[in-house]
Structure 1
């Protein structure tokens, strides 16, 4: 097994503050979510019987349940974030175009 090209020392790292686009899935704003991210999502029923969105991510398809925030990362990838994690990890940038 070969080692990765880039290796990094063990230690504590700080995540760089990169702007991301985000919108919250409320269960009734399907057109707004699709328009905001310029993507076509699929509505599916999640195990808790809530309307969820199926999102293709680099790790495979994931579900965004009602209340989750759909984030477009710095290299264009999409992923759902639980509201609690979103509040801890992201700050709203006022005055920035969506």
Structure 2
């Protein structure tokens, strides 16, 4: 016999790609590239909406919504208030390079020099 008790869970920290739908040519290029990469259909409507083929079926995205490319390259729309409550900008991918002294060795700190 199972006991179905609700539990508390924290979303795993996962980095996703997202673009806010604004109808600009740049946004349209990005969304169509994602559609081609993922094989999922994005169909614009005459009134400025976007029909997004998702893993759960077709969903309608409005201007101002976010289009998210998930961890399995799935596409799905997200309302701005939910996006803002759930996501924050990810840190840059570039790593800082350590400063090195001559000959490629790490520089000694003042405490190491004494």
Q: TM-score, normalised by structure 2?
A: 0.65
Structure 2 equivalent of residue 82 of structure 1 = 79
Structure 2 equivalent of residue 70 of structure 1 = 67
Kindly indicate whether structure 1 or structure 2 has the higher relative contact order, using CA contacts under 8 Å at least 6 residues apart: 1
Structure 1 equivalent of residue 110 of structure 2 = none
> What is the aligned length?
85
Deviation per residue, 1:66-85 (Å, 9 max, x gap): 00000011112110000111
Structure 1 equivalent of residue 10 of structure 2 = 14
In 2, the alpha carbon distance for the partners of 1:96 and 1:80 equals: 24
SS class of match (1:94): coil
**Could you list the runs of 4 or more consecutive aligned residues of structure 1 that deviate by over 6 angstroms after TM superposition?**
none
Is the helix fraction higher in 1 or 2? Answer: 2
Deviation per residue, 1:20-59 (Å, 9 max, x gap): 1111110233223223x253521114xxxx4011111111
Unaligned runs of 5+ in 2: 95-114
Unaligned runs of 5+ in 1: 1-7
Q: TM-score, normalised by structure 1?
A: 0.74
Larger Rg: 2
SS class of match (2:45): strand
SS class of match (2:59): strand
